[in-house]
Structure 1
Amino acid sequence: MEKSSKIYVAGHRGMVGSAIVRQLESEGFNNIVYRTSSELDLMDQAKVNEFFETEKPDYVFLAAAKVGGIHANNIYRAEFLYNNLMIESNIIHASYVHKVSKLLFLGSSCIYPKFAEQPLTENALLTGSLEPTNEPYAIAKIAGIKLCEAYRDQYGCNFISAMPTNLYGPNDNYDLQTSHVLPALIRKFHTAKEEGHPSVPVWGSGSPKREFLHVNDLAKACMFLMKNYNEKLFVNIGTGVDVTIKELAETIKETVGFEGEIAWDATKPDGTPRKLMNVGLINGMGWKHEIDLKEGIAMVYEDFKQLDFA
């Protein structure tokens, strides 16, 4: 990529897209284009084609998606499947039609089978059943991977895919109805501390293990792949280290300074028992994460305290 290359970041106001924009700007790229959802409905194929015809981007980061945690994935199943299928299909096809030089599609670690061998390697895709609570979202993301592969096979497009682990960082979603576990716990512990609650309820048993990557590290990985990787196989992006939800909750409790108890609600679903990424492929190419979890939680808590509802 040249510094003057026209780069389209789809989903630039989300946590991932905004991190990619920050990384591009920090590296001196000065021709970045994007549209808000009110300016461009990515589920409208005609509007997406019109945008690509007008702007003619050279590179595309496809970070736009409808996302959420266990609760949102399980309740809004049709929306998570339909919206994500439409968004990725429209952008990937328009990128082919308008001769984009390279596209990076961002998926999710939930694409892997629920009981796949740990840590999750790229070749475990489609070897077993998915976690039921987020199956529609996972199917949409698998479809995105396969679209990139199919357009590469049939048309020779340089479309690549990356699968991040669980993410957190600036511009995260702290809505308790739709957020992922880490931002939800930050908000719960902060609220409990501010309001003097004796305990904080947390879903599940605390035993599932999860891996967490700061979104700034993901943005650097995306740039690394856009510059250096041109193969069909999608690439895992993560830290290669996981913690139990109990350990995560205790770390956040300590960071926030909440002195009450954690009340585990075992009647609520745990989700997938473990989702640790094998990051040997991207580490072998020369990329490795820089921000450890405890440091990252402290960073995002400082950001969180500046938000309006904090």
Structure 2
Amino acid sequence: MAVVLVTGGTGLVGQALKHVIDTEPEGSKYGKLKGETWIFASSADGDLRDPAQTLAMYEKYKPTHVIHLAALVGGLFKNMKYKLTFLRENILINDNVLHASHTQKTTKLISCLSTCVFPDAVTYPLDETKIHSGPPHESNFGYAHAKRMVDVQNHAYKEEFGCNFTSAIPTNIFGPHDNYDLEDAHVIPALVHKCYLAKQNGTPFIVSGTGKPLRQFIFSRDLAKLFVWMLRDYDDVEPIILSVGEDEEVSIKQVTDAIVKAVGFKGEYSFDTTRADGQFRKPASNKKLLERLGPNSGFQFTPFEEALDISVKWFIENYDTARTGMKKKA
């Protein structure tokens, strides 16, 4: 019987996968297969920075398939402040998971990367061939290099041992169960939390940066369905970008406007242009994804504002726990 282990199972994407597996009909395109077991592991199941604890987790659950989501993650300013920590801890996590997947004869491993692995100076749109063609942006130095090494290791494990290891590269993810901690959340959950507090307190809503940078966002539950598709149908060692199309880039100003609407904030807001913007844009091509899905896949991305409404509703309903976020999803 197949056993699918999801590392980082209590995080944003892990909980989206759980939602999909729990709500899609058994045996359907994105549902679990008959007799299949899904395990959503958290740091309580073992510290993946420790090889012994990682191996113990594999020996306990005996996974035939692994979706590796666990990572030390954080927002722009956290990444800039703790470069070595992000580099070293993520290298340890990834190396232990890949090695255990090999030694325990896991049938298939899918790791989750990020578009921050791509070079800073690169021609756009980003595609899967450009990962190693130059250094990443300085603001994501540690995390990006650690994630790049997963792709290097996937190829090495395949060439030396024939392992079926691959990786997904999502664009900016958002949704229920995100990290809404004000200090180290990514852009959408941070802005949702700030906007909610401004509404509750009757205070101004101030957004860091100019509002001009452009991003592609993917709803976590859409991404979860694509992970299930990869689990069933994608066996190429080469990574694949999971994203909406380039034509769906939105500015931070557009994101903020949508958040203001979803939260129901009636006050005025402004942009603090003294704060860093990060990369201005990094559009990624989903051409390979669409080709592999095929014209009759029936897969559709959730419209941005609809997905944002779901996310904001979840945050407000779970405010007491959601507001503190999760520092680690390992």
Q: TM-score, normalised by structure 1?
A: 0.94
Q: CA RMSD in A?
A: 1.5
- Give yes or no for contact 2:259–2:308 (8 Å, CA) kept in 1: yes
User: Partners in 1 of 2:84 and 2:214 — Cα distance?
Assistant: 27
TM value normalised by structure 2:
0.89
Give the gaps of 5 or more residues in structure 1.
Answer: none
Instruction: Indicate which of 235, 239, 251 corresponds to 1:244.
Output: 251
Per-residue CA deviation, residues 221-244 of structure 1 (Å, 9 max, x unaligned), is: 011111111112100001112111
Residues 18 and 40 in structure 2, CA contact (< 8 A), matched pair in contact too = no
> In the alignment, is the contact (CA less than 8 A) between 2:91 and 2:146 conserved in 1?
yes
Query: Does 2:220 match 1:215?
Result: yes
Q: CA deviation at 1:261?
A: 2.3
Opposite residue 62 of structure 2, the aligned amino acid is: K
The SS at the match of 1:167 is strand
Shift of 1:153: 1.3
Give, in angstroms, the shift of residue 289 of structure 1. Answer: 4.2
Q: Partners in 1 of 2:301 and 2:270 — Cα distance?
A: 33
1:170 aligns with 2:176: yes
Which whole-Å CA distance do the structure 2 matches of 1:245 and 1:96 have between them?
A: 41
> Post-superposition shift, 1:290?
2.1
Residue of structure 2 equivalent to 1:128: 134
Q: Render the CA deviation track for 1:85-139: whole Å, top value 9, x for unaligned.
A: 1111001011001111000010001011123222211111122231111111000
Question: Where do residues 101-116 of structure 1 align in structure 2 (5 Å cutoff)?
Answer: 101-116=107-122
The 5 Å alignment of 1:148-297 reads 148-197=154-203, 199-240=204-245, 241-286=248-293, 288-297=299-308
- Whether 1:7 and 2:12 are equivalent positions in the alignment is no
The match for 1:84 is 90
Q: Is the 8 A contact 1:238 1:289 kept in 2?
A: no
What residue number does 1:22 align with? 19
Tell whether the 8 Å contact from 2:206 to 2:270 is kept in structure 1 after alignment: yes
- Ranges of 4+ aligned residues in structure 1 off by more than 3 Å: none
Moved more, 283-292 or 75-84: 283-292
Residue type of the alignment partner of 1:83: E
Percentage of identical aligned residues:
33
Q: How many aligned positions are there?
A: 306
Higher RCO, 1 vs 2 (CA within 8 Å, ≥6 residues apart)? 2
Which sits farther off after the overlay, 111-120 or 214-223? Answer: 111-120
